Amino acid sequence: MASKTLLPISMKHKRGAAIALDHSPPPPPPFPRSSILTATTMVVKGIENNDVSARLLSRSLSSSSSSSDEVKTVLPSKNGNAISQKKRRRRNASEDSLPSISNDNGDDDDRVHGDDRKFSSSSIGEDVRHVASETFLLTRLFLTMLSYLGIGYKWIIQFLALGCYAVMIFPGVIQVGYYYFFDSQIRRSIVYGDKPRNRLDLYIPKDSNGPKPVVAFITGGAWIIGYKAWGSLLGKQLSERDIIVACIDYRNFPQGTMSDMLADASEGISFVCNNISKWGGDPDKIYLMGQSAGAHIAACAIVEQAIKEAAKEEVSWSLSQIKAYFGLSGGYNIFNLVDHFHNRGLYRSIFLSIMEGEESLKRFSPEVMVQDPNMADAVKLLPPIVLFHGTGDYSIPSDASTSFAETLKKLGVKAEAILYEGKTHTDVFLQDPMRGGTDAMFEDLVGYIHANDPEARARDALAPPRRRLVPEFMLKLAHAVSPF
């Protein structure tokens, strides 16, 4: 049986280290004993298996116990017998290169003399190698700690891919962010309800002549990181086509669960329907749109509203005010997505918590709800539904949209799914709009909104091409590394 490594820790500090403490913030609290024992066990097992990296980690753990004058380690030998090793702590190269400084007690023997070792390129090289080695070991330990915390390698890989993706689209993000915070045509954080995050942003066209069509937009974010500002690029580009956009914010998990998100979305839609005329919007030309998780929330909102209206309940807005519903890269049958999301890193336990347990999956699956025979009267009240989806989407497969559209058609609802070959979850919402020029999904969306307005369609035909925000090679790299 392998022996455990014993790491006694003293509160004393080396005198040389006290100088750094004079100009540095207080050190972080020590690791809990359980964390040290866990890391120690990992080291012992690795050494038993002759793991070189584990032996390096053993040295790092020994040197990190720098608060003691001595470190005693007990490691298993090849024949299974424990070998006790007693090591005196040594000054590292950076300590040797410090100028001569006396300690608090005035002892000369603990001074660090500058002439003990000459400053040379070789010492710099040793320092660089030391830093590189320590960085590698700490990174390895950090990743292992994440795995122990339940954050698996899928999340780690996704996180790294997200970092690369963010770098690739960063030039566009900066420009859109500047527009969002400084453009005078945006009315930010208008309060629509009394719950946390009950705010919305309005994107107003510069041309104020006549009432404008309105898009009430609910952003995505995996039900966890949704935020109204995510719709700023869409809001900017639609407002340039004389369309008002209202980006509705809502509570995310864990601040709220699906019922809260649904209530917030419905409250935001109600506000738009009843107040948009104050900002020049046409209350008879309101379109509802959602992207990703927002598409799911918006679809649930119209189904729930249809149920209320069919039951003659009192409501604050009506589906008759919604000209059409646009779903972009959404999922509409949650039963089919639980395992898919789990394999993608949104673990089953978390997702079911968001959806309030397995017993609530039917309620939050619009495709399943509309097939209930008791829903016949409610289904008749649904507005026309158009679902946009990229066939290269691996966050939510495009089958989610085609299946929902086919189900609605069988029930007599005017619905269609429009697919974009090879486009990923973010291509249709971020990369393509940042590319400039002509964007197929955007043109399809504007075409539906302006379908019965010949003057608007004439202006669309003469609209200048959109400006490119990100170089093409960076967008192609973003497409390649996108974790979505």
Asked if residue 92 belongs to a domain, the reply is yes
Could you tell me if 412 and 268 lie in one domain? yes
What would the mean pLDDT of 318-331 be, rounded to a whole number?
A: 97
**Phi–psi pair at 303, nearest 5 degrees:** -65, -45
Asked if residue 448 belongs to a domain, the reply is yes
Could you tell me if 182 and 87 lie in one domain? no
Could you tell me if 88 and 200 lie in one domain? no
Provide the pLDDT confidence category of residue 44 given band limits of 50, 70 and 90: very low
466/447 Cα distance (integer angstroms): 16
The lowest-confidence range among 42-46, 231-235, 349-353, 447-451 is 42-46
Asked if residue 409 belongs to a domain, the reply is yes
Provide the pLDDT confidence category of residue 154 given band limits of 50, 70 and 90: low
What would the mean pLDDT of 420-447 be, rounded to a whole number?
A: 95
Report which of 133, 129, 132 is spatially closest to residue 52, judged by C-alpha positions: 133
Provide the pLDDT confidence category of residue 12 given band limits of 50, 70 and 90: very low
**Does residue 250 or residue 95 have the better pLDDT?**
250
Q: Where among 72, 102, 118 does a domain terminate?
A: 118
Report which of 125, 108, 95 is spatially closest to residue 18, judged by C-alpha positions: 95
**Is the Cβ–Cβ distance between 318 and 378 less than 8 Å?**
no
223/274 Cα distance (integer angstroms): 26
pLDDT, position 208: 81
Residues 155-164: tens digit of each pLDDT: 677 778 888 9
Type of residue at 234: L
Asked if residue 142 belongs to a domain, the reply is no
Residues 187-210: tens digit of each pLDDT: 999 999 999 999 999 999 998 888
Could you tell me if 84 and 214 lie in one domain? no
Could you tell me if 81 and 217 lie in one domain? no
Report which of 323, 325, 279 is spatially closest to residue 453, judged by C-alpha positions: 323
Report which of 427, 418, 364, 373 is spatially closest to residue 395, judged by C-alpha positions: 427
Say yes or no to pLDDT of 124 above 70: no
pLDDT, position 72: 39
Provide the pLDDT confidence category of residue 95 given band limits of 50, 70 and 90: very low
Q: Where among 68, 103, 118 does a domain terminate?
A: 118
Could you tell me if 162 and 239 lie in one domain? yes
Say yes or no to pLDDT of 284 above 80: yes
Provide the pLDDT confidence category of residue 331 given band limits of 50, 70 and 90: very high
Q: What is the token pair recorded at 321? A: 């005010």
Mean pLDDT of the chain: 79
Could you tell me if 88 and 170 lie in one domain? no
pLDDT, position 298: 98
pLDDT, position 335: 97
Asked if residue 476 belongs to a domain, the reply is yes
Provide the pLDDT confidence category of residue 138 given band limits of 50, 70 and 90: low
What would the mean pLDDT of 380-398 be, rounded to a whole number?
A: 96
- Where helices occur in 49-185 by DSSP H, the ranges are 52-64, 93-96, 121-148, 153-182
Say yes or no to pLDDT of 99 above 50: no
Give the CATH number for residue 268. 3.40.50.1820
19 SS3 class: helix
pLDDT, position 175: 96
Say yes or no to pLDDT of 318 above 60: yes
Domains in the chain, number: 2
Could you tell me if 82 and 197 lie in one domain? no
Q: What residues act catalytically?
A: 292, 393, 425
Provide the pLDDT confidence category of residue 143 given band limits of 50, 70 and 90: low
Could you tell me if 158 and 283 lie in one domain? yes
Say yes or no to pLDDT of 235 above 60: yes
Could you tell me if 113 and 159 lie in one domain? no
Q: What is the token pair recorded at 379? A: 């289904």
DSSP for 250-289 reads: ---TTT--HHHHHHHHHHHHHHHHHHGGGGTEEEEEEEEE
Say yes or no to pLDDT of 15 above 50: no
Asked if residue 126 belongs to a domain, the reply is no
Q: Where among 90, 118, 146 does a domain terminate?
A: 118
Asked if residue 6 belongs to a domain, the reply is no
pTM for the predicted model, two decimal places: 0.70
Residue 245's DSSP bridge partners are: 203, 215
Residues belonging to the chain: 484
What would the mean pLDDT of 67-79 be, rounded to a whole number?
A: 40
Could you tell me if 160 and 92 lie in one domain? no
Range of 123-127, 180-184, 302-306 with top mean pLDDT: 302-306
Could you tell me if 113 and 158 lie in one domain? no
Residues near 225 by Cβ (< 8 Å), separated by ≥ 6? 252
Asked if residue 135 belongs to a domain, the reply is no
Q: Which helix (H) or strand (E) holds 291?
A: strand 281-291
The domain of 367 spans 154-481
pLDDT, position 181: 93
**Does residue 209 or residue 265 have the better pLDDT?**
265
